[in-house]
Amino acid sequence: MKPGDMFARIGSIVASVMFLWAMFKQFFPYQLRNQIEKHSQRLVSLVYPYIQITFHEFAGERLMRSEAYSAIENYLSSKAATQAKRLKADIGKNNQSLVLSMDDHEEVADEFNGVKLWWACGKHISKPQSNVSFHHPMSDEKRYYKLTFHKRNRDMMLGTYLDYVMKEGKAIRVKNRQRRLYTNSGSYWSHVVFEHPATFQTLALDPEEKGMIIEDLITFSKAGQFYARIGRAWKRGYLLYGPPGTGKSTMIAAMANLLGYDLYDLELTAVKDNTELRKLLIETSSKSIIVIEDIDCSLDLTGQRSKKKEEEQKQDQRQKQQGVQEREVRSNQVTLSGLLNFIDGLWSACGGERLIVFTTNYVEKLDPALVRKGRMDKHIELSYCGYEAFKLLAKNYLNIESHHLFGSICELLKETKITPAEVSEHLMPKNASVKAEFHLRSLIQALELAREESRLKAEEDATKQDSHYTQNYSSD
């Protein structure tokens, strides 16, 4: 048969079917039509050995986007990229890469434990409601995924396979999601996109210590089942301490980037009382790091009330006596015991995967109850820049791994206290024509100056001690 004849014949068959369907719709009453459709579907299911499950995009009374649908969408994204012929592309949440997904009415095959199955995606288009004046073109499209498998594999598909798809899909979403940096003003969190570029590779730290910290973090992130088995909250406390500019904040950003967690920067001085604190802590999501910076400045946490604090409280008392409404009185009632109890108790109840990180410049000022092991699982000291840390900074900033000036810098670093932040400032390239040597010499000058200053200070201290001794004991 010629192709032209074949198309003519197919055309006439299609036209006849359409005509019959139109007649059927017109002349059979609705009830009867329904019955016929129901029975014909039953008949088909007797001979058709496949089972189909539909997952709609919007479900429930409030028409929330279904979690199962999003998980399937993520799960299928990689399969669609390799199998589907028609793909949809969109800019990903990180605004950099294109994300591909299968287009409507595409089908991809999958295999699980040797069993073959198929996923198809489609959409229903419902009639727009006439009384709605503004009409979004997409609002009447109802998308769905349809899973088809042989009925003999029913148990495996409904049990293990769907569980597997949900888990994989969620894991992909966590990996690709846009992370957030939350800050609190009073008892509310607000957030911005978290895009700090710090990583452990760029963090200048003794390589051995760095390795231990990374291992500790990764072990924690995989220990969900362990924490569940021993009946403890899946949380871990870190105390980072060291002088300003030694990389405490940078390390926290690197931790968040390593684990893919959100960051909650908890400003305790903005929290009025324990009730607000409880609310804030409950609202933090799983897979997050809660950071309390400069904990020594959040006065009630040290356990030792400073004079300034007592003054403030006396003033509050005076204001109360003067009839000022209680809620207007600015008094920081967040207590050390309140915070520790919340951390210990609250998260055990609301599930987990949270790190809590405290930072301080003065570890010796903290109440021992706050820092004892168990509450703070790991203490990390970030200190002045050593030679290994310097080499990493030189590689990051100047792209050099050796230089004839490295020897002198190594010697000077042994005698001088300089923070990685100060070293970075000297190594920061100002323009392309300036050579690495210029930056290294600038660093050497700073190191020599710092060495001279500390020598003078030591001499001054010694003189002061001498004069103190002479004043107190010369009369004896």
Which segment (23-31, 245-253, 439-447, 466-474) binds ligand ATP by CB under 6 A?
Answer: 245-253
Binding residues among 419-458 for ligand ATP as defined by CB under 6 A? 420-421, 424
| Nearest approach, Cβ of residue 193 and ligand ATP (Å) | 19
> Which of these, 204, 199, 253, lies nearest to 393 by C-alpha position?
204
| Number of amino acids touching ligand ATP (CB under 6 A) | 14
For residues 163 and 153, give the distance between their C-alpha atoms in angstroms, rounded to a whole number.
15
Note the helical H segments in 48-138.
67-83
Q: Give the nearer residue to ligand ATP in terms of CB position, either 157 or 295.
A: 295
153 binds ligand ATP (CB under 6 A): no
| Nearest approach, Cβ of residue 255 and ligand ATP (Å) | 12
Q: Give the nearer residue to ligand ATP in terms of CB position, either 319 or 361.
A: 361
Binding residues among 161-200 for ligand ATP as defined by CB under 6 A? none
Residue with tokens 């020594």: 296
298 binds ligand ATP (CB under 6 A): no
| Nearest approach, Cβ of residue 179 and ligand ATP (Å) | 18
Binding residues among 350-409 for ligand ATP as defined by CB under 6 A? 361
Q: Give the nearer residue to ligand ATP in terms of CB position, either 203 or 380.
A: 203
247 binds ligand ATP (CB under 6 A): yes
238 binds ligand ATP (CB under 6 A): no
Which of 117, 147, 157, 205 contacts ligand ATP by CB under 6 A? 205
Which segment (155-163, 246-254, 302-310, 397-405) binds ligand ATP by CB under 6 A?
Answer: 246-254
204 binds ligand ATP (CB under 6 A): yes
Beta strand pairing status for 180-185 and 188-193? antiparallel
For residues 343 and 357, give the distance between their C-alpha atoms in angstroms, rounded to a whole number.
12
Q: Give the nearer residue to ligand ATP in terms of CB position, either 54 or 199.
A: 199
Which residues neighbour 216 within 8 Å (Cβ) at sequence distance 6 or greater? 378
Buried-exposed string 384-419: b where 16+ CB fall within 10 A, e elsewhere: bbeebbbbbbbbebbeeeeeebbeebeebbeebebb
- What does DSSP assign to residue 398? H
For residues 364 and 358, give the distance between their C-alpha atoms in angstroms, rounded to a whole number.
14
> Which of these, 157, 124, 17, 143, lies nearest to 73 by C-alpha position?
143
Residue 107 in tokens: 């089908």
250 binds ligand ATP (CB under 6 A): yes
246 binds ligand ATP (CB under 6 A): yes
248 binds ligand ATP (CB under 6 A): yes
Q: Give the nearer residue to ligand ATP in terms of CB position, either 204 or 380.
A: 204
Q: Give the nearer residue to ligand ATP in terms of CB position, either 117 or 203.
A: 203
Which phi-psi region, left, alpha or beta, contains residue 353 (left: φ > 0; alpha: ψ -120 to 50)?
left
> Which of these, 117, 120, 149, 121, lies nearest to 49 by C-alpha position?
149
Contact, 339 vs 301, CB < 8 A? yes
Interaction site with ligand ATP (CB under 6 A): 203-205, 244-250, 361, 420-421, 424
